[in-house]
């Protein structure tokens, strides 16, 4: 999978490349349209992405629509004989009210107003047959577009298994479209979808035209909204009646599993177990892989260093680029483990139940149920947590979740905590043999983070993200066995997105920080670190951090830890001239005890609880919020809190 990511990055500008190459699909769409564009439309959980993956395989390109966080998923469907269509997978939506970013993008694409995409030449509507009527309500407004349309009645096998029935051709006739039964997971009915796409490809793109508006309810009519919906609902009921539709009976499996997963006692208990397993998996199961990645990066760096002549270029490559890339890659195992679990939970249908269980608790804080697992995973690392916040549908709740996630004590803070606690907190029993002062301090730091997160969410929902409380409404989809193919493609997706988007910014910062350690040149080489520009930066900020009880050495550590929190340990080691410094180093602890007193040590701990010293997180937040606004607010807010908290701690103790 790692091979396909870079390939699609590095070869984007090959306009004349041969048809059928896997890498360059998005760029060619700007050429005169030879391939028709087909839009895939449907509600969430109807199997839209599965169908998209089945049709396009790995010939996908994911980008963001400009200025928003909605992912633009484009793929090419090869239909044989050199015939191809371009497929755009629209986000799953519940309607066309344009209330959420997803709904606005869907509407814009359908109306041909999305930048860089022309109006679709055909539509594939996909609905869950077991929820046919409400889903038809949703897709019916798109028929007004008047383009060739295929209606895929997905999960048809489940409809029949649960005693339901529908005549696809009669339904298609009533709606004026082609309707086929499919099962995107097994591939059943896929040949009919491809036959439709082939006809679209043979006909070629439609001429330029004005598209009618797509909306839930007609604008400017005196009829109240509820009545307009009710009228459409009656119309749908009439159509499905003509198509001999018989609704699926209740799913016995879903009823039995819900009796367990939403049980008054077992439900929360199972929820807790699931949470602990996800947490454990990220913390412990991913660790060997992370160590492996680190070893490979370090090993290959050394191998490369041994083969290059001593020069500034070698230093840039090894100390700048290599370690910068390494600091990104090391998160990959955690991200993959988390997304594997989230994928299983989401695709199986459990996630919606977990959200219902967590909702009351999170609602009190100003968040909502779906934010629970992202926040839990932030204990391992904020980067995957921010990415996982996508599961929170409501835009304001999602932003609030992203905003508070870095307050959770991530694993990168632990080395710093361990070093400072070992150096400054004497070990004494507090609760008999169960807890000593050091463990209590660590627990206190975790609690401080939670407190900051809860307080900030509360504050945020009353200031920047104020608004009517969204009516929490969670559809509980039937339980289903997740498909391996879907899970796999999702992981490939996440890997590509993470490496490409976060990688660029992190590389830049890593190279800049490296540059600061290289100037001014001494005898044509790098200066000792306490004479470098990085040290100068430490001296420059010294007046600012003096009130916190920090001197310039800690300042250098703070500046270097902008890259990643744990870097401060190595930097302090370098400054104090301690070889092979890690958090267990006695020498380093002794050096710190000379320069800090208890007050300033606690201040430093508090600073690390609050401050957002992690460029990976900043980069990912920028990506996930579609601009610099949120990461800047977040970074400044957390810095202000860190400064204030550290000042208070130093002053009090």
Residues that bind another protein (CB under 8 A): 94-95, 97, 99, 130-131, 133-134, 137-138, 216, 225-227, 229-230, 233, 247-248, 250, 254, 258-259, 262-265, 267-268, 352, 356-357, 359-360, 363, 468-477
Q: Which of 293, 333, 273, 618 is nearest to 495 (CA)?
A: 333
Rounded least distance, CB 103 to another protein, Å: 10
Encoded tokens for 547? 């009130």
How far is 97 from 274, CA to CA, in rounded Å?
35
How far is 403 from 641, CA to CA, in rounded Å?
14
252 burial class (0-12, 13-18, 19+ CB within 10 angstroms)?
Answer: exposed
Rounded least distance, CB 243 to another protein, Å: 16
- Counting every residue written for the chain, the total comes to 653
Of 469 and 584, CB closest to another protein: 469
Of 475 and 531, CB closest to another protein: 475
Whether residue 90 contacts residue 105, with contact meaning beta carbons closer than 8 Å, is answered with yes
Q: What is the DSSP string of 557-596?
A: HHHHTTTBTTHHHHHHHHHTT-TT--TT-HHHHHHHHHH-
Rounded least distance, CB 153 to another protein, Å: 14
Whether residue 343 contacts residue 490, with contact meaning beta carbons closer than 8 Å, is answered with yes
Q: How far is CA 525 from the centre of its chain?
A: 42
Q: Which of 486, 353, 464 is nearest to 404 (CA)?
A: 464
How does 470-488 read in b/e, with b if 16+ C-beta sit within 10 Å? eebeeebbbbbebbeebbe
Q: Which of 197, 185, 81 is nearest to 149 (CA)?
A: 197
Of 368 and 532, CB closest to another protein: 368
Of 259 and 435, CB closest to another protein: 259
Rounded least distance, CB 183 to another protein, Å: 18
Q: Which of 615, 572, 566, 562 is nearest to 592 (CA)?
A: 572
Helical residues (DSSP H) of 252-322, grouped into ranges: 252-261, 266-280, 286-307, 312-315
Of 473 and 484, CB closest to another protein: 473
Rounded least distance, CB 564 to another protein, Å: 39
Of 129 and 617, CB closest to another protein: 129
Rounded least distance, CB 584 to another protein, Å: 43
Q: Which of 575, 541, 543 is nearest to 559 (CA)?
A: 541
How far is 519 from 525, CA to CA, in rounded Å?
9
Rounded least distance, CB 222 to another protein, Å: 14
How far is 222 from 115, CA to CA, in rounded Å?
33
Q: Which of 242, 323, 277, 289 is nearest to 507 (CA)?
A: 323
How far is 406 from 412, CA to CA, in rounded Å?
11
Rounded least distance, CB 450 to another protein, Å: 20
How far is 358 from 262, CA to CA, in rounded Å?
11
Encoded tokens for 577? 């001239």
Of 75 and 349, CB closest to another protein: 349
How far is 494 from 484, CA to CA, in rounded Å?
15
Rounded least distance, CB 471 to another protein, Å: 5
Rounded least distance, CB 630 to another protein, Å: 24
Rounded least distance, CB 250 to another protein, Å: 8
Of 230 and 296, CB closest to another protein: 230
Residues 6 or more apart whose Cβ sits within 8 Å of residue 439: 430
How far is 644 from 647, CA to CA, in rounded Å?
5
Of 135 and 413, CB closest to another protein: 135
Q: What phi and psi values does residue 522 have, to the nearest 5 degrees?
A: -115, 120
How far is 73 from 64, CA to CA, in rounded Å?
8
Encoded tokens for 296? 């490979």
**In whole angstroms, how far apart are CA 351 and each of 376, 392, 452?**
14, 11, 26
Rounded least distance, CB 466 to another protein, Å: 15
Of 126 and 556, CB closest to another protein: 126
Of 110 and 606, CB closest to another protein: 110
Rounded least distance, CB 159 to another protein, Å: 10
Rounded least distance, CB 463 to another protein, Å: 21
Of 237 and 487, CB closest to another protein: 237
Strand ranges for 148-226 from DSSP E: 149-154, 178-181
User: Which residues is 63 bridged to in the sheet?
Assistant: 72
**In whole angstroms, how far apart are CA 162 and each of 50, 237, 251?**
22, 20, 7
User: Which residues is 84 bridged to in the sheet?
Assistant: 78
Of 141 and 148, CB closest to another protein: 141
């Amino acid at each position: 999978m790692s091979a396909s990511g870079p390939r699609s990055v590095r070869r984007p500008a090959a306009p004349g490349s041969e048809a059928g190459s896997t890498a360059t699909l998005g760029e060619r769409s700007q050429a005169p349209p030879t391939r028709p564009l087909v839009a895939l439309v449907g509600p969430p959980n109807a199997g839209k992405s599965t169908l998209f993956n089945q049709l396009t395989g790995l010939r996908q390109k994911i980008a963001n629509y400009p200025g928003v966080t909605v992912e633009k998923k484009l793929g090419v469907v090869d239909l044989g004989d050199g015939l191809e269509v371009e497929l755009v997978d629209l986000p799953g939506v519940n309607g066309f009210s344009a209330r959420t970013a997803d709904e606005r993008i869907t509407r814009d694409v359908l109306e041909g107003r999305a930048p860089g995409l022309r109006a679709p030449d055909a539509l594939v509507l996909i609905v869950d047959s077991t929820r046919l009527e409400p889903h038809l309500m949703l897709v019916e407004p798109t028929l007004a577009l008047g383009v060739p349309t295929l209606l895929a009645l997905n999960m048809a096998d489940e409809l029949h298994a649960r005693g339901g029935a529908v005549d696809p051709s009669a339904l298609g006739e009533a709606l004026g479209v082609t309707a086929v039964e499919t099962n995107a997971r097994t591939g059943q009915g896929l040949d009919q979808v491809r036959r439709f796409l082939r006809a679209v490809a043979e006909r070629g793109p439609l001429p330029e035209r004005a598209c009618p508006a797509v909306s839930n309810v007609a604008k400017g009519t005196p009829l109240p909204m509820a009545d307009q919906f009710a009228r459409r609902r009656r119309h749908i009921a009439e159509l499905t009646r003509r198509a001999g539709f018989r609704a699926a009976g209740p799913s016995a499996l879903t009823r039995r599993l819900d009796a367990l997963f939403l049980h008054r006692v077992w439900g929360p208990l199972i929820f807790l177990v699931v949470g602990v397993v996800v947490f454990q998996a990220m913390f412990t199961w991913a660790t060997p892989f992370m160590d492996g990645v680190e070893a490979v990066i370090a090993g290959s760096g050394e191998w490369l260093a041994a083969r290059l002549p001593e020069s500034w270029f070698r230093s840039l490559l090894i100390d700048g680029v290599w370690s910068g890339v390494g600091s990104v890659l090391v998160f990959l195992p955690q991200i993959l483990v988390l997304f594997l679990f989230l994928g299983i939970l989401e695709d199986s249908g459990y996630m919606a139940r977990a959200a219902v269980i967590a909702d009351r608790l999170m609602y009190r804080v100003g968040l909502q149920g779906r934010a629970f697992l992202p926040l839990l995973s932030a204990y391992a690392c904020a980067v995957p947590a921010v990415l996982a916040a996508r599961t929170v549908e409501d835009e304001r709740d999602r932003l609030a979740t992203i905003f508070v996630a870095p307050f959770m004590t991530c694993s990168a803070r632990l080395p710093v905590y361990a070093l400072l606690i070992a150096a400054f907190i004497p070990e004494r029993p507090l609760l008999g043999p169960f807890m000593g002062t050091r463990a209590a301090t660590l627990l206190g730091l975790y609690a401080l983070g939670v407190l900051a997160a809860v307080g900030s969410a509360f504050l945020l929902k009353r200031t920047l993200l104020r608004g009517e409380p969204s009516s929490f409404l969670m559809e509980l989809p039937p339980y289903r066995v997740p498909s391996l193919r879907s899970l796999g493609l999702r992981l490939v997706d996440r890997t590509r997105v993470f490496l490409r988007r976060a990688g660029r910014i992190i590389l830049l910062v890593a190279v800049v920080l490296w540059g600061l350690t290289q100037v001014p040149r001494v005898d044509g080489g790098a200066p000792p670190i306490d004479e470098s520009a990085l040290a100068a930066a430490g001296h420059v900020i010294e007046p600012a951090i003096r009130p916190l009880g920090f001197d310039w050495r800690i300042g250098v550590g703070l500046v270097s830890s902008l890259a990643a929190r744990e870097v401060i340990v190595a930097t302090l080691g370098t400054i104090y001239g301690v070889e092979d410094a890690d958090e267990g180093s006695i020498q380093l602890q002794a050096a710190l005890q000379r320069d800090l007193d208890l007050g300033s040590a606690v201040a430093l701990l508090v600073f690390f609880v609050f401050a957002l010293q992690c460029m990976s997180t900043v980069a990912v937040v920028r990506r996930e919020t579609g601009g610099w606004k949120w990461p800047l607010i977040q970074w400044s807010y957390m810095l202000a809190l860190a400064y204030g908290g550290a000042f208070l701690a130093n002053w009090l103790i």
